[in-house]
Chains A and B, each alone.
Chain A
């Protein structure tokens, strides 16, 4: 994995020179900021009439993402999610509206995928995460114990803001949907402050494109291509793209762990596909990308066939491609 220093350097130069030249010509100013939050780098690039306006709006949007992290983090012991994970077992808990909404939407994806997408997979995720960081592979009994705690049907949602776990060991992990939700909230914040042309990125995994750059039909976004042979890209305008991919296969071990766990088998999914999903908002694109990775291209395509404004692409390291396009077109920069 090699990153080109020149590209990063080009980033700031062009933002500033574009901004300065625009300031004198009355064109919108582009402002870029980044912040480390939710274990990744969130970036926002936004156009506004003045750099002050863009800058202030971006700051507010980044603050909103921090607020989401304070609600949804399962690392911070005092987050609303951590509190729910500690005390929601057979006890009805009142939770903040945002947490309720994201859990509610996650449960919808669980229903849609027949349980393949499941935010109650946390005990299994923790087990395999330990293996990824040097512990031995989980034993069958450890896996069975964790599997007993999994099952989205044991989440009881009582509108508008109450949640009960119908299990004594249930734990929620919003890693497969939380960043998408945070990106959507940041987008709402920018819009409420009069900034309608912006790009919000949560560490590459979910990108929300609002409007377009001046004079352009949309924001050009290149998609993950593990084959390096296809260079797929999309032009996004009020749309979001998310990408999911399993941890790379181990070179030195007989068995690979992985961070995306199939709740049905209790094991990391064995796929080399990377999946990118384009929808209207960050929450569904984030949730769907994991769902479609877990379902695989065959079942995944039939799921997307029933949806409007959704496109998806599966790409393997051997350049095998599967696409389904009910929404934005996916273009290819290279011919196979």
Chain B
């Protein structure tokens, strides 16, 4: 295969609409409704050696593409059985400790079963939700910490961004366990919808675990179960929309790390503050062109080559923040300016290098600092009244932001004021509740466009156009 063909193939893999954002439903009941009724095409069963295979055949007959989820150590066995039964693929549930073995196993499975999709599942996502601060102990005494706090959101955005780098070219595929909600409480339509909305907005694939009571209710045509699921279906429909397939996340902050940690708290807080960032490894810094990044945050320990690249990025105009920097680097030939007890600044070409002398102990403050460093001129995106909303901008190949995906975790509808970098004449707002699309009034000034979203309940999508 020529390099050109290989490049085209890779591009197809990356932008393939089918692989852009899919919800796989995890099922464990003995019967199941037809795919057309459930509104999902991908269904996942846990692999059990020696278990009867009738359910797999039934699922296929009912219109599903069937996947089998298996731990890495049983993957070969599962793949063999799965290929025989006409499954669409197998999903490898990979623990962090097994990551090193994964690539080898995948290559070997793909070679042995070329018609079988082999996907890697990250099982350590979290249930998306907004959180209070009450804690109740077993003796029923409430304990409460008492800081002055903004609402805390559990979101998977940072986790997905890190997975996007570590699993590429596979679209991140993740799952999470529902928080134990007690014996009489099960996930609500809003809980499921929020999970689906996240996966869609962040363009990841999700294995959605369906509560057993819901599965049973759907099987016995229970009205409440279907009413719940029909709400989720409207979210599934919007999330599965592949119109965004040729777009990629817009980001003007690069985060360079030595190790990809899916639970990195700094990345989590950057996400919470709606700072569009992309994750790279230190090795990427040597091979990839980091163009279009206004801020580069370096957590990796720079070697001589990396340090030279950092200097070049600063020379070209970026602000490079080197965290926990200790050592002799060429940018230190410039006149140092001590900004405060933590940070020294060096002017380098059109940009600068900021050396933070310690590791980040307060990711919240650090994220706010990065937001301030970007300043108004370089903010791709700003939200007002958006404490509970995560927004992800997507750009086309011309690097123009054309889509904004929004997820609101508040459990309440909110009115949102948005500013996006770029001048747009048409703002169209799509929601699961009202479909596509409501026109919003844009106000443009100084290269930015502002508009008001009258109400976002859980998810919303903004299409931006300039004529």
A residues near B (Cβ < 8 Å) are: 1-3, 5, 7-18, 20, 30, 32, 34-37, 39-41, 43, 45, 75, 131-136, 199, 201, 203-205, 207, 213-214, 216, 219-224, 241, 243-245, 247-254, 257, 274, 276
B180 contact set on A, CB distance < 8 A: 9, 12-13
Contacting A at CB under 8 A, from B110-139, are 126, 130-138
Contact A11 B135, beta carbon cutoff 8 Å: yes
Docked-complex contact A252 and B148, CB < 8 angstroms: no
Is the Cβ of B369 less than 8 Å from the Cβ of A252? yes
Separation of A155 and B371 alpha carbons in the complex (Å): 36
Residue of B nearest to A4 (CB): B135
Partner of A132, one of B362, B366, B368, B385: B368
A251-B356, A276-B146 given as contacts; is B136 within 8 A of A14 (CB)?
Answer: yes
CB-based contact B143/A220 at 8 Å: yes
A12 to B183, CA, bound (A): 10
CB-CB nearest in chain B for A203:
B149
A249–B183 Cα gap in the complex (Å)?
A: 45
Is the Cβ of A222 less than 8 Å from the Cβ of B146?
yes
Q: Is the CB of A203 within 8 A of B133?
A: yes
A41-B147 Cα distance, complex, nearest whole Å: 13
Known A-B contacts: A207-B146, A247-B368, A253-B373. Give 12 more (CB < 8 A). Answer: A12-B181, A16-B185, A37-B412, A40-B150, A205-B149, A223-B146, A248-B368, A251-B369, A252-B354, A252-B366, A274-B147, A276-B146
Contact for A204 among B147, B363, B376, CB less than 8 A = B147
In the assembled complex, which residues on chain A have CB atoms less than 8 Å from the CB atom of B181?
12, 16
Q: How far is the CB of B168 from chain A (nearest CB, A)?
A: 27
Asked if residues B364 and A2 are in contact (CB atoms below 8 Å), the reply is: no
A20-B184, A203-B150, A204-B146 are known contacts. Are A43 and B372 too (CB-CB below 8 A)?
Answer: no
Using a CB-CB cutoff of 8 Å, which residues 346-390 of chain B contact chain A?
Answer: 354, 356, 360, 362-366, 368-376, 379, 382, 384-385, 387-388
Q: State A38–B379 Cα separation when bound (angstroms).
A: 26
Name the A residues within 8 Å of B326 (CB-CB). none
Distance (Å) between the CB of A214 and the closest chain B CB? 8
The interface residues of chain A lying within 8 Å CB-to-CB of B140 are 14, 18, 30, 213-214
Task: State the CA gap A335–B180 with chains docked (Å).
Answer: 35
**Chain A residues whose CB sits within 8 angstroms of the CB of B149 once the complex forms:** 40, 203-205
Q: Separation in Å of the B272 CB from the closest CB of chain A?
A: 10
Contacting residues, chain A, for B435 (C-beta < 8 A): none
A193 to B137, CA, bound (A): 27
Given contacts A36-B412, A39-B387, whether A16 and B136 have CB atoms under 8 Å apart is no
Which residues of chain A are near B150, meaning CB under 8 Å? 39-40, 203
Please state if B141 and A134 are interface contacts (CB–CB under 8 Å).
Answer: no
Partner of B364, one of A1, A13, A41, A223: A1
| B363 near A253: Cβ-Cβ < 8 Å | no
B49 within 8 Å of A (CB atoms): no
Bound CA span A131–B180, Å? 41
Q: How far is the CA of A37 from the CA of B413 in the complex (A)?
A: 10
Specify which chain A residues have a CB less than 8 angstroms from the CB of B443 in the assembled complex.
none
Which of B142, B265, B369 is the most central at the interface, judged by chain A CB atoms within 10 Å of its CB? B142
Q: A10-B135, A250-B365 are in contact. Are A207 and B144 (CB under 8 A)?
A: yes
Chain A residue at smallest Cβ distance from B376: A134
Chain A residues with Cβ below 8 Å from B388 are 36
Could you tell me if A250 and B340 are in contact, using CB atoms closer than 8 angstroms?
Answer: yes
Evaluate contact between A134 and B371: CB separation under 8 angstroms: yes
Known: A10-B135, A36-B410, A248-B365. A199 touches B144 (CB 8 A): yes
**A254–B362 contact, CB under 8 A?**
no
Q: Which residue of B lies closest to A11 (CB)?
A: B136
Kindly report which residue of chain B lies nearest to residue A248, judged by CB atoms: B365
A34's contact among B126, B132, B321, B379, by CB below 8 Å, is which? Answer: B132
Chain B interface, >50% SS class: loop
**Which residues of A lie under 8 Å from residue B134 when comparing CB positions?**
11, 32, 43, 45, 199, 201
Which interface residue of A30, A36, A131 has the most chain B CB atoms within 10 A? Answer: A36
Contacts of A135 in B (CB 8 A): 375-376
With known contacts A252-B321, A253-B339, A41–B151 Cβ distance under 8 A: yes
Q: Are A248 and B382 in contact (CB under 8 A)?
A: no
Q: Which residues of A contact B154 (CB under 8 A)?
A: 5
Contacts of B184 in A (CB 8 A): 16, 20
- How far, in Å, is B213 (CB) from chain A's closest CB? 15
Q: Give the contacting residue for A15; candidates B136, B179, B385; CB below 8 A.
A: B136
Q: Is the CB of A252 within 8 A of B339?
A: yes
State the Cβ distance, B2 to closest chain A Cβ, in Å.
47
Q: Given A1-B362, A251-B365, does the pair A204, B133 have CB atoms closer than 8 Å? A: yes
CB neighbours (8 Å) of B27 from chain A are: none
List 10 A-B pairs, Cβ < 8 Å. A11-B135, A14-B140, A36-B388, A45-B142, A201-B132, A204-B145, A204-B149, A207-B144, A251-B342, A257-B372
Q: Which residues of A contact B279 (CB under 8 A)?
A: none
Contact with A along B152-186 (1 / 0, CB 8 A): 10100000000000000000000000011111110
Q: Does B269 contact A (CB under 8 A)?
A: yes
Per the bound structure, the CA–CA distance linking A10 and B354 in Å amounts to 42
A9-B179, A16-B184, A253-B372 known; A201 vs B144 contact (CB < 8 Å)? yes
Question: Which of chain B's residues have a CB closer than 8 A to the CB of A213?
Answer: 140-142
Measured CB to CB, the closest approach of chain A to B224, in angstroms, equals: 19
**Contacting pair A3 B131 (CB below 8 A):** yes
